[in-house]
Structure 1
């Protein structure tokens, strides 16, 4: 149960980070063809860090889960 909550939180943080990166262009507060505004730069840095950090967390969880599954399989082969 705790793992599902953690993965869900990481997935939501990842999606929120992606939204922060895309929002200035989707919503339209970054005019086309002009230099990036301070708000856009802020969204890009914060959103990129949030999406990147949560993606690394999800990858780490997946790697740990894969390691646990292979360890269990090895124990089952030895005893069975």
Structure 2
């Protein structure tokens, strides 16, 4: 149960990071063709960092879960 909650939180953080990156262009407070405003630069850095960090954490969690499943499979085959 705790693992599911953690994965859900990481997915939500990843999506929030993607939204922060896209929001200046979707909402329209970054004029097309203009230099990036301070708010846009902030959204790009914070959103990119949040999305990147949560993605790396999700990959590490998946690798750990796969390693655990592989270890369980080896032990089950040895017990047979």
- After TM superposition, is the score higher than 0.5? yes
Using the size of structure 2 for normalisation, the TM-score is 0.99
Q: Which structure 1 residue ranges, 5 or more long, are not aligned?
A: none
Q: Secondary structure at the match of 1:34?
A: coil
Residue number in structure 1 paired with 2:53: 53
Q: Distance in 1 between matches of 2:30 and 2:66?
A: 42
Q: Which structure 2 residue ranges, 5 or more long, are not aligned?
A: none
Q: Cα deviations across residues 32-79 of structure 1 (Å, max 9, x unaligned)?
A: 001000000000000000000000110011000000000000001111
Using the size of structure 1 for normalisation, the TM-score is 0.99
Residue number in structure 1 paired with 2:18: 18
Instruction: Give the 4+ runs in structure 1 shifted more than 3 A.
Output: none
Q: Distance in 1 between matches of 2:62 and 2:28?
A: 36
